[in-house]
Amino acid sequence: MGVRLYDTKAREVVDLAPRVPGRVGIYVCGPTVQSSPHVGHLRSALVYDLWRRWLAHRGYEVTLVRNVTDIDDKILVAAEAAGDPERWWALAYRVELEFSRAYAAIGILPPTYEPRATASIGEMLSLTATLIERGHAYPAADGSGDVYFDTGSWAPYGELTGQRREDMQDAEDADPRGKRDPRDFALWKGRKPSEPASASWPSPWGAGRPGWHLECSAMSRRYLGGAFDIHGGGLDLRFPHHENELAQSRAAGDGFARHWLHNGLVTVDGQKMSKSLGNSVFAHDVLAQAEPAVVRYLLAAAHYRSTIDLHDGSLAEAAAAVERIESFLLRSGRALAVAAPAAPAALEVPEVFAAAMDDDLGVPQALAVLHETVRAGNAALDAGDLAAAARSRAEVAAMTGVLGLDLGGARTDDAATAALGVLVEGMLERRAAARAQQDYRTADEVRAALAAAGIAIEDGPDATHWSLS
């Protein structure tokens, strides 16, 4: 069996069938950069980072395109609220950098291409003109400069989400001033007098800017061609965004995406994050509370299509899991440095791990294999079986590498840890001196004091080692 994925459009798990053997082109809807990233943004980007890493591990040449929506109603509103509407582009760029830093912090690889919407205006105008020529779009008759997609002209409209057009809600993405039908959506938005002139571009229909849905169709076509393998994004984008992308691209004559992937959302104590509830968990806040590897583990541990619910103990649970893996890597590294047997070279991930990842990116099942390997490795160390411990260590390193988890020694360069080390080593010297004098009461008191501070010690044949428990 090869890689299988749940195709949202097909509504079933199917075999990955790339258009070009050995190559996979992925387009992912990136952020609209009007405000700071929250954990939902991190989760979505991480999902496609994991897909990319696994497909590359399976030998595919992966091209990942993740766009930046840097012109949009929300950006203009945010800039106006900040008191400088003429500099909407500055706000967009500042927020874009926030996203880039947050992505990098948890090990999300940069995409192959990261186009900004404002750099593809020409392609958007061309696509709009094609749709008008084909009878699937129309300029508003009121002279506003608006251009709308005629949803009634495209019979398959609704195929992605399985809806009938007559049951759909009205499109609220633009002023309905020139629409023939309330369900028609904007391809081009004529400039309004209240909007800054810098947020508009000339077009055959008048100065204006692109509609959100048009942007992604144009950018995917520019960087991946009219037909590509996978389109991804958050579950909340299925309708209307992805439904409209599919309709306008297919109506323009493009094959568009062969497969559709959608990741689940992130809730907080069972509630959707929203400004009105004031419960948004921002990336900078969660990264201030936990190490990047812990945040990555937390957001990767659930299946990518499921909802992640954050609660008070979420980070602690993820930290404990990461600590178990990291402790084994540190412990086995010490043991094997003393008497390392010949370790197998370039060990592949375990077959059961690979089977889980091949099955619609089954990260929860893959993590279960990882933790079982850690358990087996610790048992091997306890039994003095260094050959088995080396095999487990190599497998753990291979699995964490594929998952992008940067573990093992991550804390050793931290200044606070270095200072703590000086204090702990001093107490261990005191304990060693007490044991040499057979003063076991004092030695036990030192061990107990360290344990009370959350520090575990392990006596080896040549030295005593400590770690944060």
Give DSSP secondary structure letters for 281-301. -BHHHHHHHS-HHHHHHHHHS
The arrangement of strands across the sheet holding 308-310 comes to: 271-272, 266-268, 308-310
Task: Let me know if residue 409 belongs to a domain.
Answer: no
Same domain, 241 and 210: yes
The pLDDT score that the predictor gives to residue 279 is: 83
Question: Which pLDDT tens digit goes with each residue over 24-76?
Answer: 999 999 999 999 999 999 999 999 999 999 999 999 999 999 999 999 999 99
Task: Let me know if residue 226 belongs to a domain.
Answer: yes
Same domain, 212 and 345: no
Task: Let me know if residue 268 belongs to a domain.
Answer: no
Give DSSP secondary structure letters for 188-212. EEEPPTTS-GGG-B--TT-SEEE-H
- Range 446-454, long-range pairs (CB < 8 A, 24+ positions): 450/424
Higher pLDDT, 178 or 248: 248
- Percent of the chain residues topping a pLDDT of 70: 93
CATH number of the domain that residue 67 is part of:
3.40.50.620
The pLDDT score that the predictor gives to residue 340 is: 47
Task: Let me know if residue 205 belongs to a domain.
Answer: yes
- Band of the pLDDT at 413, cuts 50, 70, 90? very low
Same domain, 183 and 87: yes
Same domain, 95 and 130: yes
Task: Let me know if residue 49 belongs to a domain.
Answer: yes
What's the mean pLDDT in 340-369? 85
Same domain, 377 and 450: no
Contact 214, 130 (CB under 8 A): no
Q: Helix, strand, or coil here: 32?
A: strand
Boundary (domain end) residue, out of 403, 429, 450 = 403
Strand segments, DSSP code E, in 98-210 are 137-139, 147-149, 185-190, 208-210
CATH number of the domain that residue 391 is part of:
1.20.120.640
Boundary (domain end) residue, out of 200, 229, 263 = 263
Same domain, 115 and 196: yes
Same domain, 155 and 189: yes
Task: Let me know if residue 60 belongs to a domain.
Answer: yes
Contact 150, 158 (CB under 8 A): no
- Band of the pLDDT at 113, cuts 50, 70, 90? very high
Closest to 395 in 3D by CA, of 363, 435, 358, 352 = 352
CA distance 117 to 96: 12
- Band of the pLDDT at 411, cuts 50, 70, 90? very low
Same domain, 421 and 398: no
The pLDDT score that the predictor gives to residue 397 is: 94
Task: Let me know if residue 253 belongs to a domain.
Answer: yes
Residues constituting the chain:
469
- Give me the torsion for CA of 12, 18, 23, 29, rounded to 10°: -50
CA distance 445 to 463: 19
- Domain with 324 in it: 312-403
Same domain, 208 and 112: yes
Same domain, 46 and 69: yes
Tokens, residue 151: 């949803």
Question: Which pLDDT tens digit goes with each residue over 195-208?
Answer: 999 999 999 999 99
Tokens, residue 419: 């200072």
- In the predicted structure, residue 347 carries a pLDDT above the cut 80: no
Number of domains making up the chain: 3
| pTM of the predicted model as reported, rounded to 2 decimal places | 0.86
Contact 177, 217 (CB under 8 A): no
Task: Let me know if residue 81 belongs to a domain.
Answer: yes
Same domain, 89 and 219: yes
Closest to 328 in 3D by CA, of 395, 262, 275 = 395
What's the mean pLDDT in 346-371? 94
Mean pLDDT, all residues of the chain: 91
Same domain, 130 and 205: yes
Boundary (domain end) residue, out of 238, 263, 288 = 263
